[in-house]
């Protein structure tokens, strides 16, 4: 590894550092997201590995620079891999990110997420309904899609961040990131983003790439990941009219967008 200090914690600078480092990120994600998220990671400049089997997930977590866990299509075998990997990441001092997809929908998901939370994620990233329900409040999400506004999830996000000592990111039309003390909104993106499946799951993997790059600054790393999506999404949305062509332009823009353009297009507003 070369001595490559991060120049500043601004999103553009963190993006440049992430691309220079090309961090290896282990993603235990769902069947819908696996291919999309790997392509998103490659386009943005990270190195994804979808490694989930209990036989090797822990060993791999000690090698990778960060781990992400997404329960979207969880089954007992995947869950064993998730727990093994999260424990190994914790023991190796590697950051890890939890995406609690639709954890409120079934008792199996609820209990799985409770066990994963006990393994102390560095960052939790979810939509508004997922974050509200995780804080123990009543959410109105339907399956994997949010039914609540991000604004209505802000208090829940802060409570969760304080309770679990982690960063919490709530995404939607406007994103919200908090560590319990500091909070920002990240503005940008496109209304076509929720019309393309697994972009939230892919964003969770991108958060992994940024926390791998700045493991001592998970709040700033998470903001930078969301700012990259906000900028690429907004630029793609100016060109595309429908979900299919949007998905193609968005992927291209994750590769093309410059650090300066991320800082110019995505608005990060302290709240
Ligand atoms: N209406 C919107 N306008 C602008 N950006 C949006 C909008 N809805 C979602 N986004 C962006 O889409 C990305 C994914 O967030 P979203 O909240 O849709 O995730 P999610 O519900 O977990 O998605 P999935 O479960 O399909 O992976 C984020 O970058 C978010 O800012
Ligand atoms: C559609 C879907 N179903 C389970 S996971 C997933 C991807 C978006 O969360
Ligand atoms: Mg999701």
Residue 3: band (very low, low, confident or very high) from pLDDT cuts 50, 70, 90: low
Q: How far is the CA of 36 from the centre of ligand 3 (A)?
A: 13
Ligand 1 binding site (Cβ under 6 Å of any ligand atom)? 101, 127, 144, 146, 171-173, 175, 189-191, 193-194, 197-201, 203, 229, 233
Largest CA-CA distance found in the chain, in angstroms, rounded: 48
Residue 54 has pLDDT above 90, yes or no: yes
> How many angstroms separate the CA atoms of 140 and 118, rounded?
25
> How many angstroms separate the CA atoms of 247 and 231, rounded?
14
Location of structure tokens 């969770």: 204
Residues forming beta bridges with residue 268, ordered by sequence position: 186
Q: Is the pTM of this model over 0.80?
A: yes
Rounded percentage of the chain residues whose pLDDT exceeds 90:
92
Predicted local confidence at residue 104, as pLDDT: 95
Index of the ligand 1 atom closest to the CA of residue 190: 4
- Judge whether 125 is annotated as a binding position: yes
Q: 26: which residues sit within 8 A by CB, 6+ positions away?
A: 49, 50, 51, 57, 60, 61, 64, 66, 67, 68, 85, 208
In tens, the pLDDT along 227-241 reads 999 999 999 999 999
In tens, the pLDDT along 96-117 reads 999 999 999 999 999 999 999 9
Kindly provide the ipTM of the predicted complex, given to two decimals.
0.98
Domains observed in the chain: 11-270 (3.40.1190.20)
In tens, the pLDDT along 58-70 reads 999 999 999 999 9
């Amino acid at each position: 590894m070369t001595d490559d200090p991060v120049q500043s914690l601004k999103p553009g600078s963190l993006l440049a550092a992430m691309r220079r480092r090309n961090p290896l990120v282990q993603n235990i994600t769902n069947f819908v997201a696996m291919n999309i998220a790997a392509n998103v990671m490659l386009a943005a400049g990270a190195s994804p590995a979808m490694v989930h089997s209990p036989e090797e997930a822990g060993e791999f977590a000690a090698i990778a620079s960060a781990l992400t866990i997404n329960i979207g299509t969880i089954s007992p075998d995947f869950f064993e891999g998730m727990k093994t990997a999260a424990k190994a990441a914790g023991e190796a001092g590697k950051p890890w990110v939890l995406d609690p997809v639709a954890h409120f929908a079934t008792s199996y998901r609820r209990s799985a997420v409770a066990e994963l939370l006990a393994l102390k994620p560095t960052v939790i990233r979810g939509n508004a309904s997922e974050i509200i329900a995780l804080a123990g409040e009543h959410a109105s999400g339907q399956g994997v899609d949010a039914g609540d506004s991000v604004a209505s999830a802000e208090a829940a996000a802060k409570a969760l961040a304080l309770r679990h000592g982690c960063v919490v990111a709530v995404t939607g039309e406007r994103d919200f990131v908090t560590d319990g003390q500091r909070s920002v909104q990240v503005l940008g993106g496109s209304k076509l983003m929720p019309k393309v499946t697994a972009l939230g799951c892919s964003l969770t993997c991108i958060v992994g790439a940024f926390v791998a790059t700045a493991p001592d600054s998970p709040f700033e790393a998470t903001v930078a990941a969301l700012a990259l999506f906000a900028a690429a999404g907004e630029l793609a949305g100016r060109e595309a009219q429908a979900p299919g062509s949007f998905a193609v332009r968005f992927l291209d823009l994750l590769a093309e967008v410059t650090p300066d353009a991320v800082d110019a297009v995505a608005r990060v507003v302290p709240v």
